[in-house]
Amino acid sequence: MRTRTTSSASPANLTHYREQHAGSCTTPDYIQGTYPTTLSYVPLSVSKVMHDEEVPHYNRQSKRGMIFNNPMDQTITTTTEIPAVMSGAQGSRAWTNCSGVYKWLYTYNRWYGAVPANNYTGTTWLAAPALDVARVMDLATTGAWAKADASEIAGLVTIAEGRKTVNSCVAIFKRLLKIGLMLKKLDVRGLWRQLSPKELSDRYMEARYAIRPIMCDIDNTMQAFLRKVRPLRQTFRSTSSDSGLVSQTNVQTWYVSGFGSVSCNKVTARSITARSGVLASIDSISDISIWGLDKPLDALWELVPFSFVVDWFCNASKVIASWSPSPGISPLASWCVVDDTTVSTIAMASSASLFVNANTAYNDWQVSGGSLTRTYKLRYRVVNPNRAIIPSMKIRLDGFKLLDLAVMTKKLWRLG
């Protein structure tokens, strides 16, 4: 393993701080002094650390067909800073030790053109939300293995449901013929019955789970007939992701007794994307494989009533497909690349002046506009990850599926 490290930063920006002081017991007359101070901050900094395996003569060996599937990890940390603006800070304070008489001992005002944000925000980032990385990897890995298949059509399922398919086609044809006769006879009452809620829900489900599968089978059958020769090697890929966000508002990040405070909003967002792949050698593909006649486990699951509803909530069908044998396809390598990105931001929300006692007064103090952002990107490759045996939860619901659930629930309620 080798380690490569790089870092870069933009030139530091300078800001100018200025104070004016006046008055004392020994010198009660107004005396002004100017104390300019230069502050600096770095708008952008980037650091990269990478660990991987060095392969001698990689290009030469790769051209000869050698397969390299090595672990690696890379971390990129980016920090950006937008300065705050501070203006109008004024103050005065009185002591009683000047001959027992109240006198203004100390007065000042100070201002900045811009202030480094970390002076007031700090760098205590909000912790990233917890995500189940293993589950995301399992979903991607199982999906890639499930695609390592030579079938163009689920032949066993088509054969098993052949009688239902024929009956559905006949029923649809008869219904269309009936509606055509109603239109010819201008049978308004009969046509109106076709628009009843029950008829509309039946036709909707028919379109979704009768007509659409038939059209897919026709297309897949044509693909099987027109099957082209596959390449000697093929990569099957699948992707899965998850994300989360946590936030806190009005978190006090800076405070000085008797002067002022700053409150900030903190947000941390995290996203995970897993990309899995299976590289396979295509040795020989038989007609049995092309027509899906060698997939009994897949067919049995497809023939289970409402198995498609289960697949809306987990990857059961893909787990079964990933473990089903695929004659003629020999796996050569598998991997899963995980991108784990966390973006944390601290942004100033408000500032406030404080009043300690009657002898101390501060006013017109404002700090605004500052923020810090840190982006942490971790990428790593897991070699030959394990396929899941137990299905993982993955809810895949859209508007149509929610409508399907409502219609099916109503039908089951009616039958019950």
pLDDT value, residue 103: 43
The 10s digit of each residue's pLDDT in 95-145 is: 444 554 444 444 445 555 567 888 888 889 999 999 999 999 999 999 999
The pair of structure tokens assigned to 278 is 């299976």
DSSP for 340-357 reads EEEEEEEEEEEEEE---S
Q: Give the global pTM.
A: 0.78
The 10s digit of each residue's pLDDT in 148-190 is: 886 778 778 888 888 888 888 898 888 888 888 888 888 888 8
Specify the higher pLDDT residue, 209 or 379. Answer: 379
Phi, psi of 93 (to 5 degrees): -145, 140
pLDDT value, residue 208: 87
Asked if residues 84 and 95 have their Cβ atoms less than 8 Å apart, the reply is no
pLDDT value, residue 204: 86
pLDDT value, residue 228: 62
Cα–Cα distances (Å) from 368 to 41, 48, 126, 248, in that order, read 16, 32, 21, 18
* Res. 336: pLDDT tops 90: yes
Specify the higher pLDDT residue, 259 or 393. Answer: 393
Give the Cα separation of 370 and 119 in Å (integer): 10
- Computed over every residue of the chain, the mean pLDDT equals 81
pLDDT value, residue 39: 74
* Res. 243: pLDDT tops 50: yes
pLDDT value, residue 181: 87
Specify the higher pLDDT residue, 80 or 213. Answer: 80
* Res. 265: pLDDT tops 60: yes
Mean pLDDT computed over 370-383:
95
* Res. 191: pLDDT tops 60: yes
pLDDT value, residue 248: 95
Classify the phi-psi angles of 57: left when phi > 0, otherwise alpha if psi is within -120 to 50, otherwise beta.
Answer: left
pLDDT value, residue 257: 67
pLDDT value, residue 385: 93
pLDDT value, residue 33: 44
pLDDT value, residue 355: 52
List the one residue out of 388, 395, 347 whose CA is nearest residue 371.
347
Taking each helix axis from N to C terminus, what angle separates 197-206 and 399-415, rounded to the nearest 10 degrees?
120
Q: Look-up: residue for tokens 């599968």? A: 213
Specify the higher pLDDT residue, 135 or 200. Answer: 135
pLDDT value, residue 267: 97
The pair of structure tokens assigned to 236 is 């099957």
* Res. 83: pLDDT tops 70: yes
Specify the higher pLDDT residue, 119 or 357. Answer: 119
pLDDT bracket for residue 16 (50, 70, 90): low
Give the Cα separation of 50 and 72 in Å (integer): 7
